[in-house]
A and B are shown apart, each in its own frame.
Chain A
Amino acid sequence: MLKIENLFAGYGKVQVLHGVSMEVPTGMLVTLIGSNGAGKTTTLRALSGMIKPESGSITLGGVEIGGLPSHAIARKGLAHSPEARRIFPTQSVFDNLLLGAFPRLTGARPKGDVQGDISKMFEIFPRLAERRAQLAGTLSGGEQQMLAMARALMLQPEVLLLDEPSMGLSPKLVEEVFVVIARLKSEKVTMLLVEQFAAAALEVADFGYVMENGRLTASGTAASLKVDPAVRAAYLGSAH
């Protein structure tokens, strides 16, 4: 569904990604793990058009999207729940969800049942249902994370990019977030999950990539990465 070939990207003169190639097949949950500053967020930003790739190809469902502005990419069905959540603080929880469906409400994507999907988000994230009229900026960090995920899902995306949904959450909330991810996986939502929390990510994913200094250094099924000695030593906090 999502295919990246030989992607180079960075910020101005700072080159971050040095030829990244990866694939997210339809209905699969793929995870991208790596240490701080490896380039995971940069990868997602290049995919969703928040930064322009310098070179390489990105295709979504066979259509080239590399270099398009982010609004055009979203309209083609790529949803991005960004690092640090980036919810709209002065708007209500409900309006944040409506904005997630902006391309559906304005004719750029099939409309479907927007109200029904909002109800579904409230069912998946009951904490949001209780706070539907509350301004998003007044939510707790965990609630904002759930809102960011729900907002991205409101696109009814072809592929969902999740950037560290566990960041800054209590262990209990991290668990809740991973339960939701597992549920989305069972509903065949195609996802690319960036995580620092590698053990949990590999537990739930089908396939994984490991990134170091802007290059992929390992890849394979999640099960094989979990037992790979190098991956275990570097990211799973155990050397045996």
Chain B
Amino acid sequence: MQYLPQLIASGISIGMIYAVVAFGYQLTFATSKTLNFGQGEALALGGLTGWSVTTWLIAHGIGVGVAYLLMIPIVLIFGMLQGAVVERLGVRQAIKTKSEAGWIMATIALGIIFKNLAENIWGRDALKFPSPLPEAALTFGSVRIQPMEIAIVIGALAMMLAVELFNRRSIFGKAVVATANDRDAAGLMGINTGLVIAFSYALSSMAAAFAGVLVAPITTAGVSSAAVLGLKAFAVAIIGGLSSGLGVIVGGLILGITETMTGYFISTGYKDVPGLVLLLLVLSFKPSGLFGKATIKKV
């Protein structure tokens, strides 16, 4: 049991990554009751794009820390564009025709296309991502934590907070919330709700891409685990509730910690199982998520 604090600490950072991707699921669900099932691929693409930008900058004589910081806004913009493409090609028509299955198949298909594209550009092997922070672990008593793990927690919280503040404070954010409340009524206010939905897809992929460059320095960048990651983050979104902002953080931490525990006490080979089991359990017993109210009748 003396490893418990260490397992929890290690679970927190990966849990926050799940939380950010799950937060992305919430963003599009709120405005359009649809989800981008290519979120795992969006994360992987963000990580790979970030890898290219960072290594290019380093090759041009820029220090790794600065290169990493310069890369972030570029990856955020890339993520937004990628999300906008998904909305335009996979979702818009399905929403217009009220097709219940259309967007599910389309976003899965687009995820596969993006994965293939990435494999052709960056190859199938995972790429080592230059770490902007020292890789030596800090020790707190018996617990060892990498600086990058702390950066993940801070970065993830900062991103979710920024989106929340935007939604609450700015008139455009209020328009997003209005669209989530009642799309027709929002239209009557002069809000272009189609644009709001496209924007929520852009933000959702942006969140995933950001998660991709946060996690890559401690894992790697690559598409091989994208689909599993997307599914696990979906489990977190369901656990946390598709409509509750705070729930995904709790859900992410539950899953992250459960995974490190499973890896330690059972076998790392079963690391992916808890997330999928949790998903099955929540879907059977509490379809609205532990913290949310909306049901997901269309999934």
Residues A98 and B184 in contact in the complex (CB < 8 Å), given A91-B178, A108-B190: no
Beta-carbon nearest neighbor of A48 in chain B: B188
B175 within 8 A of A: yes
Give 26 pairs: A residue, B residue, CB < 8 Å, sorted on A: A49-B187, A69-B187, A69-B194, A70-B188, A71-B187, A71-B193, A74-B190, A82-B184, A82-B185, A86-B188, A88-B177, A88-B178, A88-B181, A88-B182, A88-B185, A90-B181, A98-B171, A98-B174, A99-B171, A99-B189, A102-B171, A102-B189, A102-B191, A103-B189, A103-B190, A105-B171
CA distance A70 to B190 in the complex (A): 7
Whole-angstrom distance from the CB of A139 to the nearest CB of chain B? 14
Q: Contacts A71-B193, A88-B181, A91-B181: A99 and B175 contacting too (C-beta < 8 A)?
A: yes
Q: Are A91 and B184 in contact (CB under 8 A)?
A: no
Q: How far is the CA of A105 from the CA of B174 in the complex (A)?
A: 12
Bound state CA distance, A230 and B192, in angstroms? 44
Considering only residues 12-39 of chain A, those with a C-beta below 8 Å from chain B are: none
- Chain B nearest CB from A176 CB (Å) reads 23
Residues of A within 8 A of B193 (CB): 71
- Interface, chain B (partner A; CB < 8 A): 171-172, 174-175, 177-178, 180-182, 184-194
Nearest-neighbour CB distance to chain B for A88, whole angstroms, equals 4
Give the nearest-CB partner of A81 in chain B: B188
CA distance A82 to B182 in the complex (A): 12
Closest to A114 in B: B171
A residues less than 8 Å from B171 (CB atoms):
98-99, 102, 105-106
Residues on the A chain within 8 Å of B182, using CB: 86, 88
User: Given that A71-B192, A71-B193, A105-B171 are contacting pairs, would A99 and B178 also be in contact in the complex, using a CB cutoff of 8 Å?
Assistant: yes
Q: Judge if A206 is at the interface, Cβ distance under 8 Å.
A: no
The interface residues of chain A lying within 8 Å CB-to-CB of B178 are 88, 91, 99
Contact partners of B191 in chain A: CB under 8 A:
71, 99, 102
* B190 lies within 8 A of A80 (CB): no
Smallest CB–CB gap between A239 and chain B, Å?
39
Instruction: Give chain B residues whose Cβ lies under 8 Å from the Cβ of A70.
Output: 184, 187-188
Question: Contact: B188 with A82, CB < 8 Å?
Answer: yes
In the bound complex, residues from chain A placing their C-beta under 8 Å from that of B192 are 69, 71
| Given A90-B181, A99-B178, A99-B189, 16 other A-B residues pairs in contact with their CB atoms under 8 A | A69-B194, A71-B190, A74-B188, A74-B189, A79-B188, A88-B182, A91-B181, A98-B171, A99-B186, A102-B190, A105-B171, A106-B171, A106-B172, A106-B190, A108-B190, A152-B188
A117 at the interface (CB under 8 A from B): no
Interface residues on A, range: 20 to 34
Among B177, B181, B188, B189, contact of A50 (Cβ-Cβ < 8 Å)? B188
Residue of B nearest to A137 (CB): B181
Please measure, in the bound complex, the distance between the C-alpha atom of A70 and the C-alpha atom of B177, giving whole angstroms. Answer: 18
Q: A88-B182, A98-B171, A102-B171 are in contact. Are A75 and B177 (CB under 8 A)?
A: no
A87 to B177, CA, bound (A): 12
The smallest C-beta distance from B98 to any residue of chain A, in angstroms, reads 11
Interchain nearest-CB distance for A34 vs B (Å):
22
Instruction: State whether A99 touches B174 (Cβ < 8 A).
Output: yes
Q: Which residues of A contact B188 (CB under 8 A)?
A: 48, 50, 70, 74, 79-80, 82, 86, 152
CB of A89 within 8 A of CB of B174, answer: no
- The residues of B that contact A99 with a CB separation of less than 8 Å are 171, 174-175, 178, 186, 189, 191
Interface centre among A80, A88, A89, A109 (most CB of B within 10 A): A88
Interface centre among B175, B189, B190 (most CB of A within 10 A): B190
Residue of A nearest to B192 (CB): A71
A155 at the interface (CB under 8 A from B): yes
B177 CB contact (under 8 Å) in A69, A74, A90: A90
Give B102 Cβ to nearest chain A Cβ, in Å: 18
* Complex-state Cα separation, A95 to B180, whole angstroms: 14
Q: State the CA gap A79–B189 with chains docked (Å).
A: 8
**Interface contact B174-A91, CB-CB below 8 Å:** yes
Pairs of residues from A and B, 9 with the lowest C-beta to C-beta distance, nearest first:
A74-B190, A70-B187, A103-B190, A86-B185, A88-B181, A71-B192, A102-B189, A75-B190, A105-B171
Cα-based distance from A48 to B194 in the complex (angstroms): 17
Q: Are A50 and B187 in contact (CB under 8 A)?
A: yes
